[in-house]
Amino acid sequence: MDSGKYVRYTNEQVEALERVYNECPKPSSARRSQLLQEYPILANIEPKQIKVWFQNRRCREKQRKEATRLINMNAKLSALNKMLMEENERLMKQTTELSMEVHVLRQELAKYRPPPQSNGENLGLGDQMASDMVGEFLGKATGTAVDWANMPGTKNGPDTFEMVFILRGGPGIASRVYGLVLMEPAKVASALKDRSQWLRECRKSEVLGEFRTDQGTVEVVYTQICERSMSGGTNLEPVPAFVRAEMHPSGYYIKPCNGNSIIYIVDHVDLKPLSVPEVLRPLYESSAALAQRQTMEALRYLRRLASDSNLDSPRSNGHQALAWRGIAERIARGFNEAVNGFPDDGWVPLMGDGMDDVSVAARPLNGQRHSGSNPAMSGNSEALRASEGGVLCAKASMLLQVSKRSKK
């Protein structure tokens, strides 16, 4: 057979070559020669033609992935262009500012309204409150209600697919992020409702009730966000030292875009920083910390879901990457639980000698839970329990003083 002529392969030959390609996309010369012996159906094809077939097959695969990447890139650029046009329109118009002035006037008028006398009036007041909160939230989401500044360390521009802002002045701390998510709006809204999946501090979230308005359905959701109790147990005690934050109008604004979603996320809270120790106060006064811990984490969670649901995407890397991501999340969660050492996770503190600041805790493999009110077990008893099998965690902490660099 002349190697310079076009070769037409039969279906059986293509199937045989595809099987080899799935095992090894780039076989060596020796492997290609071996194929002629393993597959007699390829006997009439020269080794050089087999080499050309594998080269063409790799090129087609590369072109397919590149085409998929360009399609996704084009969708993101189209969505980003749409966001920039909306942002430019916002800067040219003052409609939102006027609506905020109306909102302030409504709040002032509400002080002079008589108390409601009937359930109908209560429903009307709830409708009005929901409408006012939605108006204030939309003002924050579009960037007109408060003074936003670019978050340090983030890159906002036409070559990025998300923009992050933090509050500059004003009450409390706040963060705002908006970007493109390759998911339908209904799926985005459903994923965000389960805050415990992406917000570690979320202890409880349930819908207490809902009522319909002219603009849609309003749900009354009870959400409990706090650190876990060191004393263990499932119920939180009414400790006065707890920091009870005040939440200002916040939420998610989801807009459809060519089968995907453009989402605006706003978190605005007042964490009462004066009620915490001074060494921890910067964490309660930092809008950047709120953005990293909560606002940006919500967007990252949505994009992980979108990547997992689109396993054919070049960035997804298929089921193997999904499995590794699950393993990594379990390792991180297990490490965090070991460092925290909460009794309701099965961790029991061991008695130390008091010579250093290292604390040791153990968790038996039988998964038995211990009450936080029980005293720490003796060293011999815990050593015996650890010898039966379990996990041992030793930890120490120190306070590092960071000097501020002087500006030149």
At 179-226, the pLDDT tens digits run 889 889 989 988 888 887 888 777 777 888 777 766 667 777 777 776
Q: What is the pTM of this model?
A: 0.56
Token pair for 212: 């319909």
pLDDT at 386 over 50: no
Spell out the CATH class of 146-228+243-316.
alpha beta
pLDDT at 374 over 50: no
Write out the DSSP string of 202-257. EEEEEEEEEEEETTEEEEEEEEEE-PPPTT--SSPP--TTS---EEPS-EEEEEEE
Give the N- to C-terminal CA distance of the chain in Å, as an integer. Answer: 77
Other Cβ atoms within 10 Å of 282 Cβ, number: 10
Beta bridge pairs of residue 377: 350
Spell out the CATH class of 1-93.
mainly alpha
Place 159 in a pLDDT band, splitting at 50, 70 and 90.
Answer: low
- 230 dihedral zone (left: phi>0; alpha: psi -120 to 50; beta): alpha
> For residues 233 and 307, which has the higher predicted lDDT (pLDDT)?
307
Q: What are the extents of the domains in the chain?
A: 1-93, 146-228+243-316, 340-395
Place 157 in a pLDDT band, splitting at 50, 70 and 90.
Answer: low
264-294 per-position pLDDT tens digit:
999 999 888 887 788 888 888 889 999 998 9
* Whole-number Cα distances in Å, 277 to 154, 274, 399: 29, 8, 14
The span from the CA of 275 to the CA of 297, in Å, is 26
pLDDT at 151 over 50: yes
pLDDT at residue 7, rounded to an integer: 72
What would you report as the CA-atom Rg of the chain, rounded to the nearest whole angstrom?
30
